[in-house]
Amino acid sequence: MVEYGLVAGTWGNISARDAQTGYFALTPSGMDYLQLAAEDIVIIDPEGNTVDGQRKPSSEIRLHVAIYRHRPDIMAIVHTHSVYGSTCACAGKAIPPLVEDLVQIVGGSVDIAPYALPGTDGVAANAVKALAGKFAVLLENHGAVGVGENLADAFTVCQLLEKSAQIYLFSQLIGGAKILPADDVKVMHQFYKDQYGQR
């Protein structure tokens, strides 16, 4: 995340869930990503209790617990504070379905979860609602969240979200973005789920 400019300092967080136990591994609170070691990762149960690890878990633990609870299809979560995604989040502007790679993996627009104090149940509840059946959400005045069936997919979602946010903002300078037809968005997302890659 640091290398790709998706976070600054120690902000943002990552988790991955174990399919058998429902436990998930979560990054610790306030630690430099470049200095993290395996023993710094915290293991959390589905209720949000620490079951292994010596570090304090990320302050956004409620966000991860809530998403996993409501989305059994999701096995990894990446929360970023990237520049262009956060710009859209601070402006209260959803990223419309304007780029084919984004809609394939996300399933449509990247919608806004209304503002709530970071680290609270409010952020978690708003994010779950705005995610609905999609794979990315913007947290108003905060940042972005990408989810997926694995960490690689969740990270790719965040990369494409940031690229698409940049395209969207730049397109506003030259007359606005053309939105993809809703039917095409559905077809592309279904294709991604069923046929994309070496399945």
How far is 139 from 127, CA to CA, in rounded Å?
Answer: 7
Q: Which of the pair, 77 or 32, is modelled with greater confidence?
A: 77
The token duo for 137 is 């959400």
Range of the domain at 177: 60-194
Give tens-digit pLDDT for 3-48: 655 665 557 899 999 999 999 999 998 767 677 788 989 999 999 9
The token duo for 183 is 């039917």
Whether 41 maps to a domain, the answer reads no
pLDDT (0 to 100) of residue 7: 60
How far is 105 from 151, CA to CA, in rounded Å?
Answer: 14
Pinpoint the alpha helices (H) of 81-150.
83-91, 100-106, 121-131
Whether 38 maps to a domain, the answer reads no
Q: Which of the pair, 191 or 76, is modelled with greater confidence?
A: 76
Instruction: Name the catalytic one among 3, 39, 47, 60.
Output: 60
Whether 106 maps to a domain, the answer reads yes
Q: What is the mean pLDDT of the segment spanning 162-168?
A: 97
DSSP output for 41-93: -EEE-TTS-EEE-SSPBPTTHHHHHHHHHH-TT--EEEEE--HHHHHHHHHT-
Contact 168, 96 (CB under 8 A): yes
Whether 6 maps to a domain, the answer reads no
Q: What are phi and psi of 161, to 5 degrees?
A: -60, -45
Whether 150 maps to a domain, the answer reads yes
193 — pLDDT class (breaks 50, 70, 90): confident
Count how many domains the chain has. 1
Give tens-digit pLDDT for 140-155: 999 999 999 999 999 9
Q: What is the mean pLDDT of the segment spanning 62-78?
A: 98
Q: Is residue 85 scored above 60 in pLDDT?
A: yes
pLDDT (0 to 100) of residue 192: 84
Whether 72 maps to a domain, the answer reads yes
Q: What whole-number percentage of the chain has pLDDT above 90?
A: 80
Q: What is the mean pLDDT of the segment spanning 155-165?
A: 96
Q: State yes or no: is 60 an active-site residue.
A: yes
Whether 178 maps to a domain, the answer reads yes
CA distances (Å), origin 135, targets 42, 67, 138, 149: 24, 11, 11, 10
Using CB atoms within 10 Å of the CB of residue 90, give its burial: 0 to 12 exposed, 13 to 18 middle, 19+ buried: middle
Whether 33 maps to a domain, the answer reads no
pLDDT (0 to 100) of residue 29: 82
Give the CATH number of the domain where residue 136 resides.
3.40.225.10
